[in-house]
């Protein structure tokens, strides 16, 4: 690829500028995806990182944990569905709590200790072993939710819990989140709602029997129990109303960035192709197949995209590595980076299509024109 690579070498500044521009766009795309990933995790980490493969919601809740409650009869019916190996109650609510520093809103997830609904990402300390113990998300350790800190749930005779462990990515709705025993959750509910006679669970956590497919089991539960909607863990995450809202706006932003990549690459190579129309015509006239010129154009696009992607992904990783682990963590996911890179290559080729078309349409006879004296 003499032609393609020599031109890049002889016009370094131009190609470096384009690669830099592509790099900037790639950085924006990858970094936004990483921020988005972190934001999503802060929204739904508590559900994503608990160990129940299936969560059953009230079917009126539209996948919203806050809007879901189940009656004892429903919980009982779920436990008797064929293929359910185990089912446990999960209680969830937001409470005002007193930390060492200030009152704050915190989310409680109550589960049966040692059973379904337990956090899977414990990093320091241990899981709760009895009532009034809690695991918190490591992201909130600095805010009065570190191991050894005590938290009082405000209300009428609210329970006080001590943090005994910290886990990764256990937040819910970007708020401090505590995993406590189901009894502690019931006590907290009673404290804020002293007149209520019963405390209802928000969800039922389900583990399928060996060899039972989880997608099949969710269908079975929906069919056999009235008024419930069983979701796999992944579905519960994806269908969360908060996640869906953020998803649609980030999709628009990313789509725009991808369109800009097509336009930038497309215009650059179009200008370049128009500028070198004469030498390209010369080569066609002396017998170069169009395919040779098109191949060289594609090589140049690939060179620019590779450089841009190295610059963009490299700086995104760098920034992600040095940025402080603030409220919203930055998560660069290998899978989405690979998808992005493949998409960028395809889009760059689409942008280059206009130039390819121009090369294919060169009329070699124009090389015989005597306009101009440049050799």
Given the rule CB under 8 A, which residues bind another protein? Answer: 2-3, 6-7, 10-11, 276, 278-279, 281-289, 292, 364-365, 367-375
How is residue 203 written in tokens? 């969800």
Q: Please, what is the minimum distance in Å from the beta carbon of residue 367 to another protein?
A: 5
C-alpha–C-alpha distance, residues 94 and 91, integer Å: 11
The DSSP letter of residue 158 is -
Single out the residue of 110, 54, 107 nearest to residue 85, CA to CA.
54
CB of 310 to another protein, least distance (A): 24
Least CB distance to another protein at residue 292 (A): 5
The partner residues of 97 in beta bridges, in order of sequence, read: 104, 153
Nearest residue to 152 via CA among 126, 168, 134? 134
**Residues forming a β-bridge with 105:** 96
Cβ-based nearer residue to another protein, 15 or 27: 15
* Of the candidates 34, 36, 45, the residue with the CA atom closest to the CA atom of residue 137: 45
Q: Which is nearer to another protein, 207 or 284 (CB)?
A: 284
Decide whether 148 or 287 has the Cβ nearer to another protein: 287
Nearer to another protein, 287 or 324 (CB): 287
How far apart are alpha carbons 108 and 89 in whole angstroms? 13
User: Least distance in Å: CB of 13 to another protein?
Assistant: 13
CA distance 144 to 223: 45
Pairing of strands 84-98, 203-208: antiparallel
Shortest gap between Cβ of 36 and another protein (angstroms)?
A: 42
Provide the minimum distance between the beta carbon of 299 and another protein in the complex, in angstroms, as a whole number.
12
Q: For residue 173, which of 250, 242, 95 has the smallest C-alpha distance?
A: 242
Can you give 183-234 as a three-state secondary structure string? HHHHHHHHHHCCCCCCCCCCEEEEEECCCCCHHHHHHHHHHHCCCEEEEEHH
Cβ proximity to another protein: between 10 and 324 the closer is 10
Based on CB atoms, which residue is closest to another protein, 13 or 322?
Answer: 13
**Helix, strand counts (H, E) of the chain:** 10, 10
Select 7 or 183, whichever has its Cβ closest to another protein: 7
What is the nearest approach in angstroms of another protein to the Cβ of residue 2?
A: 5
């Amino acid at each position: 690829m003499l032609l393609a690579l020599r031109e890049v070498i002889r016009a370094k500044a131009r190609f470096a500028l384009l690669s830099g521009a592509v790099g900037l766009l790639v950085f924006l795309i990858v970094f936004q995806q990483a921020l988005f990933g972190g934001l999503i995790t802060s929204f739904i980490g508590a559900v994503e990182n608990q160990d129940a493969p299936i969560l059953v919601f009230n079917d009126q809740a539209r996948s919203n944990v806050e809007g879901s409650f189940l009656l004892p009869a429903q919980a009982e019916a779920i436990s008797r569905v064929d293929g359910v190996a185990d089912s446990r109650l999960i209680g969830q609510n937001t409470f005002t709590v007193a930390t060492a520093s200030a009152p704050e809103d915190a989310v409680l997830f109550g589960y049966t200790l040692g059973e379904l609904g337990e956090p899977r990402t414990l990093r320091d300390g241990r899981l709760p072993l009895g009532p009034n113990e809690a695991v918190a998300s490591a992201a909130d350790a600095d805010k009065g939710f570190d191991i050894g800190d005590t938290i009082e749930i405000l209300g009428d005779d609210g329970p006080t819990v001590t943090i005994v462990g910290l886990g990764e990515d256990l937040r819910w709705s970007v708020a401090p989140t505590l995993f406590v025993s189901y009894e502690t959750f019931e006590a907290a509910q009673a404290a804020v709602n002293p007149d209520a006679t019963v405390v209802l669970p928000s969800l039922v956590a389900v583990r399928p029997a060996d060899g039972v497919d989880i997608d099949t089991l969710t269908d079975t539960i929906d069919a056999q129990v009235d008024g419930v909607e069983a979701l796999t863990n992944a579905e519960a995450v994806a269908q969360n109303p908060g996640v869906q809202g953020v998803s649609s706006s980030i999709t628009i932003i990313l789509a725009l960035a991808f369109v800009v990549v097509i336009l930038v690459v497309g215009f650059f190579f179009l200008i370049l192709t128009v500028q070198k129309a004469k030498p390209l015509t010369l080569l066609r006239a002396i017998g170069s197949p169009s395919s040779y010129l098109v191949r060289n154009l594609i090589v140049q696009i690939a060179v620019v995209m590779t450089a841009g992607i190295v610059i963009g992904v490299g700086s995104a990783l760098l920034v992600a590595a040095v940025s402080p682990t603030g409220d919203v963590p930055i998560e660069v996911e290998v899978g989405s980076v690979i998808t992005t890179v493949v998409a960028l290559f395809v889009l760059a080729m689409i942008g280059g299509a206009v130039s390819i078309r121009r090369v294919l349409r060169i009329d070699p006879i124009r090389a015989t024109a005597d306009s101009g004296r440049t050799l």
